[in-house]
Amino acid sequence: MSTATEAHPTFGPTALATPANALTMARLLSSPALLALVLATGPATWLLTALWILFSGSDGLDGWVARRMGATRSGAFLDPLADKFLVLGVLVGLAGRGYFSWLPVALIALREVGMSLFRSYAGRRGVSIPARRTAKAKTFLQDVVILLALLPPVGLHALGEVRALLWVAVALTLYTGLEYARDGRHLLARTAERPAVSGPPAPDAR
């Protein structure tokens, strides 16, 4: 049974200034600060570990707020974008410090940028591509790899294992990118065959 908040959301799909969007923007704007901190202090410190847990964990918080107060199209776009900026910012910092090689970081970056461009292309044609479970697993695995790299007992003493796990994350990232492209191509073809129907924002694509 739906609650009153779910039945009568505070914000409509076109709203911009919402608490959920404010949380998402805070995560988005924290990316350059985290990158600078990784470059300045090194790959594995307790401060970086705490900040990563705070910002990566807040993803669930803004989603919870959005579900209670009303999902918006802007939030559906910004939320996965904030995830990507956070992940790529820290990965670039770790590569810059020599902890990771640039190749796996570049492969993840190319997939994320390519998917974001394709997502914008599909969005202009009225197509929202929902996230699969594998895409959510990809985001979780990337977060875990970064957490292990930043956690001093692991990051300072298990470099080989963390690098190997990063390549597992790369493989899953590329696989989900192929899934996303296939799903998007099918949805675009289907949309071209029938009139567009407006509706609530789709679940975020990752």
Side chain identity, residue 141 = L
Asked if 72 and 13 touch (Cβ cutoff 8 Å), the reply is yes
Task: Please tell me the distance from the alpha carbon of residue 130 to that of residue 206, in angstroms, as a whole number.
Answer: 8
Task: Please tell me the distance from the alpha carbon of residue 23 to that of residue 79, in angstroms, as a whole number.
Answer: 9
Encoding tokens for residue 89? 């910012």
Q: Over its length of 206 residues, how does the chain's per-residue pLDDT go in tens digits?
A: 344 444 456 755 656 667 667 777 888 888 899 999 999 987 889 999 999 998 888 776 666 666 676 666 666 667 778 888 899 999 999 999 999 999 999 999 999 999 888 888 887 887 877 778 898 899 999 999 999 999 999 988 888 999 999 999 999 999 999 998 898 888 888 877 765 444 445 555 55
Phi, psi dihedral angles at 42 (to 5 degrees): 105, 170
Q: Could you give all domains of the chain from N- to C-terminal order, each with its CATH number?
A: 16-192 (1.20.120.1760)
